[in-house]
Structure 1
Amino acid sequence: MTPPPGWYPDPHAPHLRRWWPPTPRPPPHPARPPRPAPPRGGGTARTTGYSLPPTALDLFGAIDTVADALGGGDGDGTTTRTAPTATSASPPGAPEPAPEASTSEPSADDPAVVEDQLNGVTFPLLDGWVRPQYVAQDDVVMTTDGTYDCPGGVGLCRHGMVFSRTVTENDEKSPEALAKADISEAADEAYDRDSLGRELHGGMTSHQVVKSGPVAVAGRAGYLVRWRVKTAKGPGGHVQSLVFPSSVGTESPVLVRYVFDAGEDGPPLADMDRITKGIRPFGDADTGGGVGSSIGPTD
C-alpha cells in the first residue's frame, strides 16, 4: 500500500515509517523586467505597455545604479528604488515670486554722510574717514581708518578724529567766545594728557594759532580757532574748535572738535575745511549759505 505523503521508511528500522514534514520553500521572486535602453538620437523611449521621456529614464537609471552600488537592496536579491521627487514649478504666465528682503540696513540714507541726530546736522564722510568703531572717547562722529602705537609708548592713537557735542554747561552763547575757550582744552586732551593722564605723544611742548575767525556752517554764523601743536614725541598735529548755533530746538551752540596728526601719515589738513563746508542741517542737502554765508575765517 502506498504510504500517505510525509511518511517515509526509518533509515534505522526499515520496517517502520516516520513522519518527515516537508521543508518550506520561499516563493520565488518575480523577475524584474529588463531596463529599457534610452533611444538613440532623441525622441521617446518605447517599451511594451508604457513610454517615458529620455530624461525620466536616465534619472531612474541613475537612481538604480546608485542604489545597487550602495547595497540598497532588501537582502533577498531585490533592489529598492526610490522615485524622484517632482519640483514644483509656476504655471505658464504666473508672476515670478518676489525676492527675499535683505536683512542688512544702511546706516544712513546717504552712505557718505554721518548723522548727529542730537544737534540736527550731518557731516560728510570723506575718503579715508570711517564711522567710529571701538573708540573710547565720547561724541566721536568719525575717525581715520585704523590705529597705530602712540609715539609716547602707551596706548593706541588715530591719525584723525572729529567730535561733535552740545554746549550746555556754559551760559555763554557767543560762538567766538566758546571756540576760543575750548581750543586750549582740546589741544591738551589730544596731545598733552588724555582723560587717563597718559602722555600719548610725550606731552605738548608749544602751539601756534594758524587760523581763526567767523565762518558759515549749515547756514549759521559760526566761529573757529585752529592751532598747530608740537609735541615731545612724534610729529604733533593740528587742533580746531568750531562753534555754531544749532538749527533745532533752543539753538544751543554746537561744538565740533578736529584733531589731525601732522606728518605724512596724518589726514590732509584741507579736510578740516571740507568737512566744515559739508556740514548740513537735517533734510537740506545743499544748505551752505544763509546767515553768515559771506564770511570766512581769518588766517
Structure 2
Amino acid sequence: MSMTPPPGWYHDPSYPLVERWWDGTAWTDHRRQPGTLPVSLAPPEPAGQGPGRARAVALVAAGTAGVVLVAAIVTGVFVLGRNDGGGGGAAAARTTPSGTPSTPSAALSPTGASSTAPRSAAPSSGAPSVVLDELNGITLPLPGGWVAPSDVAEDDVVMTTPGTYDCPGDPGLCRHGRVSSRTVTANAERSPKALAEQDIEDAANSVYDRDVLGGHPYRGITSHRLLKAGSVAVAGRAGYLVRWRVRTGVGPGGYVESLAFASSVGSESPVIVRFAFDAGAEGPPLADMDRITEGIRPTGDTDAGGGVGSSIGPSR
C-alpha cells in the first residue's frame, strides 16, 4: 500500500541536486541546498490539533547549558493572498515524493508519521526566547509579555499577548497583541516596498474589521492614519515596513504593521511579518514592533545585522 509522505525536505523531482519542501499535499516553492543542518524539535502533539498545511515552526530558547523543549503546538503554512474565507495560492506540482529520505531534515517524528511540524516552548537560562521559523529560515525574538499562541484560529500566528478579553463588538474573545509570519507564494511581486504597501490593508482588516468567523469584533475600521513607512534591514536583507493607526467602531482601535523582506534561504521567497497591537493602556508597547524587527535573524546566525536603523543588506 502506498502512503503519502509527511511534510518535509525531499529531493526535488525536477532538479535532484536541491531539496524542496513537500507540505504533505503538494510541492511548495521553497528549495535549499542538501546538507542544511536540521533543527532539533520536541516530539509532535497528537494529530488533529491544528488546521492548515504544515509549516516547520518551533519556539526555542538559547540557554547556557543547552535547550530544553517542553511543549508543542501544531501550526501550518499560510499563503499570502488568501481571503478571510479560505486559502488561495499559486498552483504547485502534485508529484508525490518517492519514498521517505534516509535522513529526514524536516521537523518530523522518528517514524515519519507526523503530518505537521511542532512548535514548542522552552525556558531560557537568562536569555530571551526566540521563535524559529524553519521554513523561512529566520528566528524572531519573544519579548517579555509575549507567549506562544494558544487556542488561536489563525495558523500563521507565532506569538500573542497572554490571555483574552471579551471583544467590544460582536461576541467573541479578542487579544491585545499578536504577531504572525507568512510566506509570499501566491504573488509574483518581489519588491519589499510593494509587498508591504499591498498587504497593510488586509493585515488591518483581518484583525480589526472582520475575523475568521465572519464577525465584527470591533464593529469595523472607521479610519486609519499612516504612522510610519520606510526601508529597514531585516536579518541582513533589505526590507520595508508600513505602520497604520486604525480607529474602530467600538474599542480603542489599534496599531497594525506589515513588514516585508526576502528570506535568506532556499528560493528566497518574500516573507511578510504582521503586527497587530491594541491601542490604549491594555495594549503592548508600540516599541515591541521595533524590538521584534531588530531581533529577526537568519536561522543559526545570532550576529547577522538587521532591524530599525541598521544598514540595509542585499535584496533580490
Alignment deviations for residues 105-124 of structure 1 (CA, whole Å, 9 cap, x no partner): 77359561111111111111
Q: 1:107 aligns with which of 115, 121, 124?
A: 121
Question: Does 1:159 pair with 2:176?
Answer: yes
Question: Does 1:185 pair with 2:202?
Answer: yes
Tell me if the contact between 2:196 and 2:240 (Cα under 8 Å) persists in the aligned partners: yes
Q: Distance in 2 between matches of 1:104 and 1:146?
A: 20
Tell me if the contact between 2:237 and 2:312 (Cα under 8 Å) persists in the aligned partners: no
Consecutive aligned runs of 4 or more in structure 1 exceeding 2 Å deviation: 102-111, 292-296
**Larger RCO (CA within 8 A; separation ≥ 6):** 2
Corresponding residue SS for 1:181 = helix
Q: Distance in 1 between matches of 2:138 and 2:296?
A: 7
% same residue? 67
Report how far residue 294 of structure 1 moved: 2.4
Give the direction of change, closer, same or farther, for the CA distance of 1:174–1:264 in structure 2 (3 Å limit). same
Q: What amino acid maps onto 2:152 in structure 1? A: V
Tell me if the contact between 2:228 and 2:242 (Cα under 8 Å) persists in the aligned partners: yes
Q: Distance in 1 between matches of 2:211 and 2:256?
A: 14
Q: 1:119 aligns with which of 120, 136, 150?
A: 136
- Structure number with the higher helix fraction is 1
Alignment deviations for residues 209-240 of structure 1 (CA, whole Å, 9 cap, x no partner): 00001000010000000000000100000000
Gap runs ≥5 in structure 2: 1-67, 72-119
Aligned to 1:273: 290
Give the direction of change, closer, same or farther, for the CA distance of 1:104–1:145 in structure 2 (3 Å limit). closer
Tell me if the contact between 2:170 and 2:215 (Cα under 8 Å) persists in the aligned partners: no
- Structure number with the higher strand fraction is 2
How many residues align structurally?
194
Give the direction of change, closer, same or farther, for the CA distance of 1:147–1:109 in structure 2 (3 Å limit). closer
Corresponding residue SS for 2:301 = coil
TM-score normalized by the length of structure 2: 0.58
Question: Does 1:128 pair with 2:142?
Answer: no
Q: Distance in 2 between matches of 1:129 and 1:104?
A: 17
Aligned to 1:223: 240
Corresponding residue SS for 2:267 = coil
Gap runs ≥5 in structure 1: 1-101
